[in-house]
C-alpha cells in the first residue's frame, strides 16, 4: 500500500504557530485531533513534523539508521557544539560511553549514601519549616544537589552558587534564541559561560570527590583523550540530564499522592515496611507501579527531536528527507470505555495496561540520567514518606506548566509535620 501524503497545517511563516506553541499547552494535542498522529507545520520559519502514538514512534525507532539527533537553535547554542547532544554517529557514541560511566550500577551504589543524607536533610527541613513550603522548589534543589554532590563533589555553598546560574540556563533552553541584552536567552548564555568556567576549574583541581574520576581519561571517536572544554560541555549536559527530569518526576509524584489520598493509603504501608536508611536500591512493587502511572500521565520528557537523513514512513505517512521531526510523548489518551483518564497505579500490576511508555525518551538517545532518576525517586519516596506527613495548602494552582518539564504552577505548597507512628487505617477495598 503506498504511503499517504503528509497532512499540513498550511502555515506560511509559522509566526502564529510559534506564538501558539509557546503560549498554548494544548498546541500539539489540538492539531493531532484535527490532522491525525503525523502532521507538518512551521515554527519560527522552520518546517517541522509532529508525531505521536505507539505506531508512529515504533516506526521511527525501526528506521534509526535514517535519522540523526536534532535540537532547536536555542538548545544547540546553550548546550554547545561539543556536547554529545549535538553530535551524531561515532562522535556521539564515544562521548555517551564516557559520560555513561557516571550512571553505571557501581557508580549508583557509590552515590547512594550521599543521596540518603540529602533525603534526610530535606525531611528535617520540611518538619522544621515555619509555615508552608513550596515542595516543587525543594525537589528541584534536591535533584540538583544530588548530581552536583555525587558527580562534581561540590559542598553546600559551592552548590548554591552553581544552582542559581543553572536555573537561569535551564529555563531558557527552549526559548527564542535572541542574544539581545536582558532577554532570557542572553542571560542564559552568560550563565552558561560561568557554569563552564566552574566545571573546568573542578577538572583542573583534579579532585577525587564525586564521580569525576570515573570519566578522567575518556577518549573521543579517534581514541584521543577528551580535553577540558569537551568534558565540560558533556558535564553541563549531564547536570541537565540528571536534574530536570528527576525534579519533574518527584514533583509530579508527590502532586499525585497528595491529591489522591486513596493512592497514598494503598502505597504507604509497603513503604513503611521498608528499612531506612537502606543499604541498596529499595524495592517496592506498589511504588514502581505508582511511579509508572505518574510517568504515564505526566512524562518528564515531553518529547524529543530527530532529523530524517532520507525519506521515512511513519504510521503509513510519507515524511520527506531532511524533515525535522518532533516526537510528542503525550499522556496515553482514554479510548472509549477505558479508565485511562483515571490515576490508577494498579493497571501496571493487573495486566490491564500494555502500552509502551517512554518517560525518558527512547532509542540510542534515551535520557542519560534515567537510572539515577529512578534511584532518587525510590529513595525520596521511601525516606520522606517514612518521616513526614504533608498536606496541601488550599487555593493553589495545581495545574502543570510543561516547559522545560512538567511542574505544578504554584510550586506544590505543603505544610509538613512528623509522621505519626499510629497505625494506618485500612486502604479502601476497591483499591486493594
Same structural domain for residues 226 and 238? yes
Query: What does the DSSP 8-state code read for residue 177?
Result: -
Question: Which domain range does residue 420 map to?
Answer: 82-301+358-431
Which residues contact residue 71 at a Cβ distance below 8 angstroms, ignoring those fewer than 6 apart? 79, 85, 86, 305
Q: H helices of 369-426, where?
A: 370-387
Same structural domain for residues 332 and 402? no
Q: How confident is the model at residue 425 (pLDDT cuts 50, 70, 90)?
A: very low
In whole angstroms, give the CA distance from residue 182 to residue 56. Answer: 41
pLDDT value at 402 more than 60: yes
3-state secondary structure of 418: strand
The string of pLDDT tens digits covering residues 45-83 is 889 999 998 899 999 999 989 998 888 888 899 998 888
Same structural domain for residues 20 and 96? no
Q: What is the pLDDT of residue 418?
A: 93
Same structural domain for residues 193 and 91? yes
Compute the chain's Rg from CA coordinates.
22
Q: What is the pLDDT of residue 431?
A: 40
Q: How many domains does the chain have?
A: 2
**Is 77 a domain residue?**
no
Q: What is the mean pLDDT of the chain?
A: 86
Exposure string over 46-63, b if 16+ CB within 10 A, otherwise e: eebbbbbbeebbebbeeb
Q: Nearest-CA neighbor of 383 among 31, 161, 126?
A: 126
The string of pLDDT tens digits covering residues 264-317 is 999 999 999 888 988 777 889 999 999 999 988 888 877 889 999 999 999 999
Q: What is the pLDDT of residue 330?
A: 66
Same structural domain for residues 96 and 199? yes
Q: What is the pLDDT of residue 94?
A: 87
413-418 β-sheet, strand order: 133-134, 413-418, 388-392
Q: What is the pLDDT of residue 375?
A: 92
Task: Return the CATH number at 224.
Answer: 1.10.630.10
Higher pLDDT residue, 255 or 69? 255
Range ranked top by mean pLDDT from 27-36, 171-180, 399-408: 27-36
230 within 8 A of 121, measured Cβ to Cβ: no
Residues in the chain: 432
In whole angstroms, give the CA distance from residue 19 to residue 9. Answer: 15
Same structural domain for residues 56 and 98? no
Amino acid at each position: 500500500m503506498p504511503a499517504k501524503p503528509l497532512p499540513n497545517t498550511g502555515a506560511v511563516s509559522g509566526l502564529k504557530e510559534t506564538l501558539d506553541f509557546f503560549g498554548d499547552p494544548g498546541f500539539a494535542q489540538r492539531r493531532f485531533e484535527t490532522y491525525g498522529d503525523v502532521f507538518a507545520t512551521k515554527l519560527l520559519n522552520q518546517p517541522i513534523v509532529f508525531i505521536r502514538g505507539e505506531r508512529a514512534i515504533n516506526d521511527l525507532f525501526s528506521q534509526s539508521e535514517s535519522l540523526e539527533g536534532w535540537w532547536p537553535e536555542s538548545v544547540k547554542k546553550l548546550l554547545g557544539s561539543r556536547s554529545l547532544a549535538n553530535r551524531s554517529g561515532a562522535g556521539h557514541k564515544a562521548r555517551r560511553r564516557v559520560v555513561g560511566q557516571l550512571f553505571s550500577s557501581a557508580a549508583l551504589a557509590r552515590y547512594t549514601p550521599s543521596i540518603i543524607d540529602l533525603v534526610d536533610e530535606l525531611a528535617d527541613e520540611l518538619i522544621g519549616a515555619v509555615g508552608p513550603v513550596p515542595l516543587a522548589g525543594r525537589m528541584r534543589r534536591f535533584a540538583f544537589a544530588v548530581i552536583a554532590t555525587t558527580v562534581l563533589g561540590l559542598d553546600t555553598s559551592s552548590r548554591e552558587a552553581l544552582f542559581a546560574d543553572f536555573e537561569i540556563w535551564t529555563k531558557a533552553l527552549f526559548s527564542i534564541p535572541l542574544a539581545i541584552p536582558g532577554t532570557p536567552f542572553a542571560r542564559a548564555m552568560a550563565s552558561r559561560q560561568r557554569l563552564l568556567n566552574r566545571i573546568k576549574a573542578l577538572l583542573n583541581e583534579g579532585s577525587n570527590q564525586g564521580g569525576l574520576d570515573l570519566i578522567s581519561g575518556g577518549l573521543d571517536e579517534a581514541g584521543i583523550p577528551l580535553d577540558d572544554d569537551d568534558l565540560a560541555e558533556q558535564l553541563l549536559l549531564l547536570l541537565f540530564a540528571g536534574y530536570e527530569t528527576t525534579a519533574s518526576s518527584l514533583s509530579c509524584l508527590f502532586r499525585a499522592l497528595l491529591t489522591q489520598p486513596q493512592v497514598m493509603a494503598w502505597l504507604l504501608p509497603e513503604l513503611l515496611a521498608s528499612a531506612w536508611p537502606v543499604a541498596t536500591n529499595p524495592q517496592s512493587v506498589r511504588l514502581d507501579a505508582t511511579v509508572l502511572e505518574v510517568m504515564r500521565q505526566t512524562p518528564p520528557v515531553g518529547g524529543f527531536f530527530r532529523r530524517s537523513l532520507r525519506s521515512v514512513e511513519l504510521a503509513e505517512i510519507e515524511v520527506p528527507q531532511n524533515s525535522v521531526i518532533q516526537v510528542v510523548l503525550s499522556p496515553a489518551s482514554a479510548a472509549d470505555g477505558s479508565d485511562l483518564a483515571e490515576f490508577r497505579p494498579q493497571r501496571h500490576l493487573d495486566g490491564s495496561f500494555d502500552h509502551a511508555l517512554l518517560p525518558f525518551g527512547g532509542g540510542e538517545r534515551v535520557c542519560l540520567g534515567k537510572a539515577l532518576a529512578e534511584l532518587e525517586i525510590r529513595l525520596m519516596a521511601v525516606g520522606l514518606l517514612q518521616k513526614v506527613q504533608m498536606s496541601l495548602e488550599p487555593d493553589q494552582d495545581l495545574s502543570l506548566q510543561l516547559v522545560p518539564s512538567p511542574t505544578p504552577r504554584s510550586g506544590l505548597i505543603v505544610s509538613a509535620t512528623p509522621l505519626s507512628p499510629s497505625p494506618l487505617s485500612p486502604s479502601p477495598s476497591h483499591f486493594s
